[in-house]
Structure 1
């Protein structure tokens, strides 16, 4: 549409509210009605916590320019209540917590309305979303006998406390109160938790519905599941919606039969897919994407594109899957930091051919004439000059500057450390240190059970476990796949030595049956032994890499580049005129993560498929920008940049560029 036409047409909000607001979204007829007017929902998922807030408006405007009239988002509990009873909705002034800038949910919801988009809100408490622990806070695991995602009163106590805080903020932003939110989801794909021979806990869904209503949520409620999986995650008086990627006719026919007099809604039409480490990057055929979207609309169904724009699993917030039916970490599959998803808008916000499809299809099937903005210009990116690594800190240096060291007879999980106001450790690394130990030549270290999730073994600060070389190494000592793993500690005799086991939380599982949410991290499934003798009396050191602590680190040394875990430092100096988006190239590095100006940006692991980390310009500033790189094994002596993402799986030689 041209500018002259747009000036004549009403906005979306004007169209639906010009005569006053009398009712919200209704599902009482075969077509949705909003404030009494027929409404076809063209929605796209955008997770505010996966996109830098400086770019929220850009992404929202791109949604509206594609012909979408609605944006959908989850709300992750774990970032909004990071410690038991401590809430963060992005309105803290001290800025000590690096993730706070992402958490102004109210600001995001208001911005969506400014950009002429309605909102579908999916508050959980569980969201899946390939997000760490499905959005659940890890401190729940400290509560004895608490049963997550059930009607257990212990679990519901914490859910209700959190929801009271959350819903008090969003209640005034409901459509019938003049705001943007037209619908709320109850939980998320709850039908998937069903185990054979066990009834599903519908009392849990009823309890969540009641909590929403008791906290002044008046808009339409709904559930979402794949119809072919049954409707056991739904409630009889609540709108059921569909999640799928293929077989549109089968899925929507089942949904129509389930509730014949209600509108059809595809709450998740999967535009692409997410990546696990060791996989090839997922790409979905454009023709299939187009044809299924056309089929959805030919069924007179509304839709939500999951994802329209994926964004990034910042820091340590990537989720994981467990392959198979086990619950002991054997089939652990961590997700990459990139959540590109092969969506219509790339991780960096670039337009794709799928975006053009969305524009065309929404224009063809739109039944109302409203104002639509032109697409915003693409964002420029720069490959900055290579940087030399200038300084390093060893694990011993980091431990010497640790804020807390816990004495414990046995190894225990991260979550059960009595730190963070009795909330335990949620993310990062944990070091199990045994001091003044004699280790004979040829000694065998054994870790009972499985590591959760990777472990590096150091004696007197020197790496004695294997340097990672290929994916086959994941089947051996140091990784989650091997149970009761053993390591020969070498031919040297050690006296009064220091043994360090550096363990990484590589992401808690976000999807599965209820028994698979046993998500403790660290060493906790058994003892640590040397030559079959149990080792006791450990010093346990949490390395959480929070912003305040990493900003206080001192005593940096000239880099030795010796094998083993170290934190490296370099600096990117920028003029104010030259700041733009970029990618950090993982070339030459093995495994670890990046911190930029105190913010934990991305993990890296050379098995791929992700081989570069997206660095938005708003994380950078004029002058010196500190970049820290924690490397498990052997570092590069420089840090490089590139302008585009690239995906490569180690060993197959195939590169798929976005």
Structure 2
């Protein structure tokens, strides 16, 4: 009786639905379990993103998840996908999310809805609309009045589409998420409460509402009347992840709302994979403990068009393929992970969950190589310019995506004049009098280039491509184009601010490239290429872009996404449902230019050819010399996988921070570190936007990308890890970007079971000037 009373009180307090009326089915919170129609129910969810799957393939991917052994589809909603321009909502065609949910219900699958307003998901700006940034004082994910106003408008529009599809209304939506991983962004319970109320007012008041976060952050913004779930990935220690949550919510069901099956790829970095065996082991551990889960991703799909996001710091944009090393491949194929997981889940089926036959993959075809001869040189067919005295970012010209060209005339320049841009977001080509003089790449922190000696009146063109807005952390306020200023710096360090600009918007709309005049002309600079090809029977294929430079592809009006010669991705997935029997049109926008303007369709993807060397934070023949340095602190970390804070005796000012690992807890040579925070005089972590790894004695890139910059990427599931056969000591040096007063630091070891490479003894050095190498 006592336990029943406590459970009833918990349900009453949290506002969870005790029963879903007027429905044949109910979904509710029970004691340590979910209850479906009054009986214990383990949620086995497969994360899919309808926006990353062609509409014609939605049902196939749902059926693949059903065959895998799942009973639920977990679904992000990307606000910016549906409201690309303010007040212009679109829920039709490939944006018809209600139809997707009905297809899931048709196939016996429930829905967990994750409407945001913020999603992340390596999606442009985490799903938030770019036009929010037109307001200079905008702070997203806050109680900023305009942000909250637009969030409620969006949520109400979504509610019109999906609130009728909740389980209580005869639909299949059983859970709705409030915001997403907010603990990784800030601490603001009033904001979380306001979003919760907006979600409820939008009509999602008949489903279980929940919020998700990491084990280390879930209490920061936890609301008493929401279910709490945790996110972590392959290799995690399940007991450790749920230890704290089980203590503070002993009666609530446990759920991993994102169990990461793999990881996403960045341009210019090695293709990511994760162990199939470890993934299955983690899911088995959860099922044996009656813990529900959602597999992120069960099928990743493709980030078509301009929708790829970016991480920062250090800025790094995402590849078009969102294969994610998931059990169901980008093209919807079965994999080793699929069969291993299917075998496990077959053992945990309830009597009502009957096995489902795995649907056959769609046909795959080859397209013989053909040449693209028609060209449209964009410098010769620019749109009308906008005049602007000052440099402004793309958003202030009412442009969301694509490229933007800034043009002005120069005063006379001397031989050693620098052109400095603050800042070019994200990839810039610099032309003087029509001649290319170089590139600036935000990933590499490049912001200046030396100009040749020029007469007054020379024409300066700066072509800036937006590579995707940051989708995580405070740098999500990621305005594109040139964000602040352009200046000349002469040999005497005198600066001249450049003004009086002509600004040209180069959008990524199909209409923009389709309406150009194409000729048999030698390309020069950013150019569109056009051709047609004929096929006898449509099928899926992979367009080989390995001879091309950098740009986008449209086939029959469909934007297949970005390509970039640096890799690791060298092909673009082309769904056969977008092909036609007979003649098909293809347009390629290449900003840099191909080595050979040819295209062919392959039967398999190329996702792991990296042409740009993985960034190494130790230069050749460079060794850190600490022999003349004195540590500001020496100590030992405890043998725990939790965050640990080290406080210095006094405040110390400097710029270059060195952590030297002297030994490990397991006695082995390898060292690892997942996240590092340096504490300022206010007791809070200092901003990391300007940080750069100056030195790392060793970085393991043979398996996962365990480079040193992982220590400040705000992702607890990635880490810096040294190579296995390199002995201690191990050193890591961070340039903070400017002088800072600090009082200590916080350290998080690797999240994997056993915490491999956990550091024991260490020393810290901090100084104003650079270390000796």
TM-score range, shorter chain: 0.7 to 0.9
Higher relative helix content: 1
- Which residue among 240, 250, 253 is the counterpart of 1:250? 240
Contact 2:485–2:497 (8 Å) recurs in 1: no
Is the counterpart of residue 621 in structure 1 residue 580 in structure 2? yes
Equivalent residue number for residue 190 of structure 2 = 203
Query: 1:304 is paired with a residue of what secondary structure?
Result: strand
Equivalent residue number for residue 526 of structure 2 = 565
Query: 2:137 is paired with a residue of what secondary structure?
Result: coil
- Which residue among 103, 118, 135 is the counterpart of 1:126? 118
Query: 1:60 is paired with a residue of what secondary structure?
Result: helix
Give the Cα separation in 2 of the matches to 1:465 and 1:20: 66
Give the Cα separation in 2 of the matches to 1:538 and 1:53: 43
Q: Tell me how far 1:127 sits from its aligned partner.
A: 0.1
- Which residue among 51, 54, 74 is the counterpart of 1:52? 54
Equivalent residue number for residue 425 of structure 1 = 399
Unmatched 5+ residue regions in structure 1? 1-16, 91-100, 195-199, 324-330, 418-423, 467-476
Equivalent residue number for residue 509 of structure 1 = 470
Query: 1:584 is paired with a residue of what secondary structure?
Result: strand
Contact 1:225–1:242 (8 Å) recurs in 2: yes
Equivalent residue number for residue 516 of structure 2 = 553
* 1:89-139 deviations in Å (ceiling 9; x for gaps): 12xxxxxxxxxx421111111111111111000000000000000000011
Contact 2:550–2:563 (8 Å) recurs in 1: yes
Contact 1:64–1:117 (8 Å) recurs in 2: yes
Equivalent residue number for residue 94 of structure 1 = none
Equivalent residue number for residue 602 of structure 1 = 561
- Which residue among 374, 379, 387 is the counterpart of 1:407? 387
Give the Cα separation in 2 of the matches to 1:541 and 1:219: 48
Equivalent residue number for residue 287 of structure 1 = 277
Change (3 A) 1:173 1:376: same
Is the counterpart of residue 454 in structure 1 residue 427 in structure 2? yes
Is the counterpart of residue 586 in structure 1 residue 586 in structure 2? no
Q: Tell me how far 1:496 sits from its aligned partner.
A: 5.3
- Which residue among 290, 295, 301 is the counterpart of 1:311? 301
Change (3 A) 1:395 1:447: farther
Equivalent residue number for residue 520 of structure 1 = 479
Query: 1:434 is paired with a residue of what secondary structure?
Result: strand
Is the counterpart of residue 231 in structure 1 residue 219 in structure 2? yes
- Following TM superposition, the consecutive aligned residue runs of length 4 or more in structure 1 with deviations greater than 6 angstroms are 652-656
Change (3 A) 1:441 1:131: same
Q: Tell me how far 1:449 sits from its aligned partner.
A: 2.0
Equivalent residue number for residue 503 of structure 2 = 540
Give the Cα separation in 2 of the matches to 1:114 and 1:649: 42
Give the Cα separation in 2 of the matches to 1:205 and 1:347: 34
Q: Tell me how far 1:642 sits from its aligned partner.
A: 1.3
* 1:604-647 deviations in Å (ceiling 9; x for gaps): 12221111110111222133222122222231221222111121
Change (3 A) 1:517 1:140: same
Matches for 1:265-414 after TM superposition, within 5 Å: 265-323=255-313, 331-399=314-382, 402=383, 404-414=384-394
Contact 2:371–2:597 (8 Å) recurs in 1: yes
Query: 2:444 is paired with a residue of what secondary structure?
Result: coil
Q: Tell me how far 1:23 sits from its aligned partner.
A: 6.0
Give the Cα separation in 1 of the matches to 2:391 and 2:585: 34
Higher Cα Rg, which structure: 2
Equivalent residue number for residue 642 of structure 1 = 602
Contact 2:411–2:457 (8 Å) recurs in 1: yes
Q: Tell me how far 1:541 sits from its aligned partner.
A: 0.9
Contact 1:448–1:483 (8 Å) recurs in 2: no
Query: 1:84 is paired with a residue of what secondary structure?
Result: coil
Give the Cα separation in 2 of the matches to 1:169 and 1:495: 59
Equivalent residue number for residue 438 of structure 2 = 465
Which range moved further: 531-540 or 163-172? 531-540
Contact 1:389–1:559 (8 Å) recurs in 2: no
Q: TM-score, normalised by structure 2?
A: 0.73
Matches for 1:129-278 after TM superposition, within 5 Å: 129-194=121-186, 200-217=187-204, 218-245=206-233, 246-278=236-268
Query: 1:204 is paired with a residue of what secondary structure?
Result: helix
Give the Cα separation in 1 of the matches to 2:438 and 2:446: 16
Contact 2:300–2:324 (8 Å) recurs in 1: yes
Equivalent residue number for residue 73 of structure 1 = 75
Q: Tell me how far 1:463 sits from its aligned partner.
A: 2.1
Query: 2:504 is paired with a residue of what secondary structure?
Result: strand
Contact 1:192–1:233 (8 Å) recurs in 2: no
Change (3 A) 1:530 1:407: farther
Give the Cα separation in 2 of the matches to 1:186 and 1:141: 23
Q: Tell me how far 1:447 sits from its aligned partner.
A: 2.7
Give the Cα separation in 1 of the matches to 2:418 and 2:509: 31
Query: 1:449 is paired with a residue of what secondary structure?
Result: strand
Contact 2:510–2:554 (8 Å) recurs in 1: no
Change (3 A) 1:390 1:65: same
- Count of residues paired in the alignment: 589
Q: Tell me how far 1:497 sits from its aligned partner.
A: 4.8
Query: 2:216 is paired with a residue of what secondary structure?
Result: helix
Equivalent residue number for residue 115 of structure 1 = 107
Give the Cα separation in 2 of the matches to 1:478 and 1:118: 44
Unmatched 5+ residue regions in structure 2? 1-18, 615-700, 704-773
Give the Cα separation in 1 of the matches to 2:447 and 2:268: 23
Is the counterpart of residue 574 in structure 1 residue 535 in structure 2? yes
Change (3 A) 1:393 1:439: farther
Change (3 A) 1:254 1:361: farther
Query: 2:174 is paired with a residue of what secondary structure?
Result: strand
- Which residue among 444, 452, 455 is the counterpart of 1:481? 444
Q: TM-score, normalised by structure 1?
A: 0.85
CA-atom RMSD in angstroms: 2.3
* 1:6-55 deviations in Å (ceiling 9; x for gaps): xxxxxxxxxxx9x9726632123211112323211111000000000000
Change (3 A) 1:354 1:483: closer
